Amino acid sequence: MLGTGSSVPSRVVTNDEVGGPAGVDHEWILGKTGIRERRWAKPDEATSDFGVRAGRAALEAAGIGAAELSLVVVATSTPDQPQPPTASVVAGELGADRGTAAFDVNTVCSGFLFAQTAAESVLKAAGGGYALVVGADVYSRILNPADKRSVILFGDGAGAVVLGPAPGPDRGIVASRLAGFAADRDLIEVRAGGSRIPTTPETLEAGLQYFTMNGRGVRDFVAEHVGPAVHEFLAEAGLSTADLDRFIPHQANGRMIEALGESLGIGPERIPTTYREYGNTGSASVPITLDRAARNGDLRPGDLVLLAAFGGGMAMGLSLLRW
């Protein structure tokens, strides 16, 4: 990873503002999630707008130009539109050369690590080059304002990284792992708007265009699968959680991060977070948090960093970095 970047909307949405229509207040939301506020896009802003800004910041940090990219991958479950890929919009707006490959990945909140792993594989197969990997979502457009289980959690934004030749022999991506759990695919979904249930006046009346989540089921999924997968993944590299300098998980909510950290024996001093001010930013949460940690000086050369994400599908991604 040669550079990181991020972008969030300027509009701050407080707990009282988002909680009012859902029948809850600031203290209830804070106690349940640890989230104090989130950022929501303005009506004229879309997913690609934040992806472009985050991508530009990552390119500047890496010291390369968009014309040097051979690949742009955007992880999102809230694209600008069904077609073309949001990655094509990001690549075009950044000024990537004609012929630069661009595609989207959708594994919901775990999408960034799936996109990163795919981009890494493409670069290895090509024998080198540079890739821009973006995680970007605008969840505020698909939230039911009356659903206290989901509307209080999500914010909008984007995070990005530039992949390329490692800056040293002992630095870079050490290992990655992706996993899917299709039997649990109903835990997180947006039912209407696709080919199975096209959008109609009836689906809109029924609220099928909104994001839904089985919160208890997701918590059980994380407890059952994520912690054990982390231990197994590290053990295969001859490591344990004690060897990690930083652990950056998906910013689902504060209580879930606390529980996961405790189960892994990783204290809060080793877990950078952004959920308090940004909420759950979907596929953007890991790269936004990574970017902030990098820019705040929380990551030092040689640090061992584990990225972990989980999301609808259900899906899970892990990536071990030597910073």
Is 155 found in the same domain as 16? Answer: yes
Mean pLDDT computed over 7-13: 98
- pLDDT-derived band at 153, boundaries 50, 70, 90: very high
Residues 302 and 282 occupy one common structural domain = yes
In this structure, the answer to whether residues 130 and 182 fall within a common structural domain is no
Q: Are residues 183 and 240 in the same domain?
A: yes
Same domain for 151 and 257, yes or no, is: no
At 81 the pLDDT is: 96
The pair of structure tokens assigned to 196 is 């199975």
pLDDT beyond 90 at 157: yes
Q: What is the pLDDT of residue 247?
A: 98
Residue 169: predicted pLDDT: 76
User: Do 181 and 308 reside in the same domain of the chain?
Assistant: yes
Q: How far apart are CA 227 and CA 258, in angstroms?
A: 12
Task: Compute, in degrees rounded to 10, the torsion defined by CA atoms 277, 300, 133, 60.
Answer: 90
- pTM (whole model) above 0.75: yes
Q: Which pair of tokens denotes residue 63?
A: 């010291």
Which CATH number is 242's domain given? Answer: 3.40.47.10
Q: Are 135 and 161 in contact (CB under 8 A)?
A: no
Instruction: State whether 152 and 196 are in the same domain.
Output: no
Active site residue 280: yes
Pick from 133, 163, 193: which residue ends a domain?
Answer: 163
Q: Which of 26, 109, 214, 253 is catalytic?
A: 109
**Looking at the structure, do residues 183 and 118 belong to the same domain, yes or no?**
no
Is residue 259 predicted with pLDDT exceeding 90? yes
Active-site residue (options: 231, 250, 253, 296) = 250
177 plus 159 within the same structural domain: no
Query: What does the alpha-carbon distance between residue 163 and residue 66 come to, in Å, rounded to a whole number?
Result: 12
Reply yes or no on whether 250 is catalytic: yes
Examine the fold and report which residue of 141, 163, 185 is the final residue of a domain before the chain moves on: 163
What pLDDT does residue 170 have?
A: 82
Residue 274 scores a pLDDT above 80: yes
Catalytic hit among 15, 106, 253, 280: 280
On whether both 297 and 190 belong to a single domain, the answer is yes
**Annotated catalytic residue 253:** no
Q: Are residues 109 and 242 in the same domain?
A: no
Render pLDDT for 166-208 as a digit per residue (tens, 0 to 9): 877 788 999 999 999 999 999 999 999 999 999 999 999 999 9
Domain count of the fold of the chain: 2
pLDDT at site 32: 95
Distance, in Å, from the CA atom of 85 to the CA atom of 51, rounded to the nearest integer, reads: 12
CA-based radius of gyration for the chain: 19
Average pLDDT over residues 21-30: 96
Spatial distance between the Cα atoms of 172 and 287, rounded to a whole number of angstroms: 15
Asked if residue 91 and residue 46 are part of one domain, the reply reads yes
- Host domain of residue 147: 3-163
Question: Would residue 108 be called left, alpha or beta, if left means φ above 0 and alpha means ψ between -120 and 50 degrees?
Answer: left
- In this prediction, residue 171 carries a pLDDT of 87
Q: Which of 97, 128, 163 is the last residue of a domain?
A: 163
Binned at pLDDT 50, 70 and 90, residue 19 comes out as: very high
308: exposed, middle or buried (Cβ count in 10 Å: 0-12, 13-18, 19+): buried
Q: What is the pLDDT of residues 82-133, one digit of tens each?
A: 999 999 999 999 999 999 999 999 999 999 999 999 999 999 999 999 999 9
pLDDT at 168: 77
SS3 string, 38-102, reads: EECCCCCCCHHHHHHHHHHHHHHHHCCCHHHCCEEEEECCCCCCCCCCHHHHHHHHHCCCCCCEE
- pLDDT, residue 103, reads 98
